[in-house]
A = this chain, B = another copy of it.
Amino acid sequence: MTIVETEANTDGARRYGSADPERDALYADIAQHHLQPLWEMRGLLTPTPRVASLPFRWQAEHLRELASRSGDLVPIDRGGDRRVLALSNPGLGGAPYISSTLWAAVQFLLPGELAPAHRHTPAALRFILDGGGVYTVLDGDPVVMNRGDLVLTPSWTFHEHHNPGNSSMMWLDVLDLPVVAALDAIFFEEGRSEEVDQSVAPRSAAERRYGQGAGLAPVDAREELPAHSPLTVYRWAATDAALSALAETSTTGDVSLRFRDPVRDRDVMPTLRCEMRRVRAGVATPTDRQTGSRVCAVFDGRGTVDIDGESFTLGSGDIFVIPSWAQHRLHAHTQLDIFTTSDAPVLEALSLYRSATEANT
> A residues engaging B (CB < 8 A)?
1-3, 5-6, 9-10, 15-16, 20, 22-23, 26, 29-30, 33-42, 44-51, 53, 56, 58, 62-63, 66, 69-70, 73-74, 78-80, 82-90, 92-97, 99-101, 105, 120-122, 155, 177-189, 203, 205, 207-221, 227-229, 231, 234-235, 238-239, 241-242, 245-246, 248-249, 255-265, 268, 270-271, 275, 291-293, 323-325, 343, 346-347, 349-352, 354
Contacts and interface: CB of A to CB of B under 8 A. Distances in A.
B82 A38 contact: yes
17 contacts: A2-B2, A6-B96, A9-B96, A34-B90, A35-B87, A37-B74, A44-B80, A45-B80, A53-B184, A101-B183, A179-B183, A183-B352, A212-B241, A213-B238, A217-B260, A262-B262, A264-B264
Given A22-B73, A213-B239, 9 more contacts: A36-B96, A39-B74, A45-B120, A49-B185, A183-B292, A183-B347, A184-B325, A211-B215, A270-B349
A258 B210 CA distance: 11
How many copies of this chain sit in the oligomeric assembly? 4
Given A80-B44, A82-B38, A101 B215 contact: no
Contacts of A70: 26, 30, 37
A35 B9 contact: no
A43 to B, nearest CB: 9
A185 B324 contact: yes
Given A58-B34, A215-B260, A100 B346 contact: no
B15 A78 contact: yes
Contacts of A231: 214-215
Nearest to A269: B351
A127 B95 CA distance: 37
A238 B275 CA distance: 24
Nearest to A231: B215
Given A66-B30, A275-B219, A292 B96 contact: no
Contacts of A39: 74, 78-80, 82-84
Nearest to A261: B215
Contacts of A100: 1, 182-184
A353 to B, nearest CB: 8
B256 A242 contact: no
B58 A33 contact: yes
A184 B293 contact: yes
B182 A101 contact: yes
A275 B79 CA distance: 42
B291 A184 contact: yes
Contact of A215 (B22, B185, B234, B275): B234
A216 B187 contact: no
A240 to B, nearest CB: 10
Which 10 residue pairs are nearest across A and B when measured between Cβ atoms? A212-B242, A213-B238, A184-B324, A215-B262, A38-B84, A349-B349, A227-B351, A219-B256, A1-B178, A214-B262
Nearest to A15: B79
Contacts of A51: 184
A56 B85 contact: no
Given A36-B96, A41-B96, A218 B241 contact: no
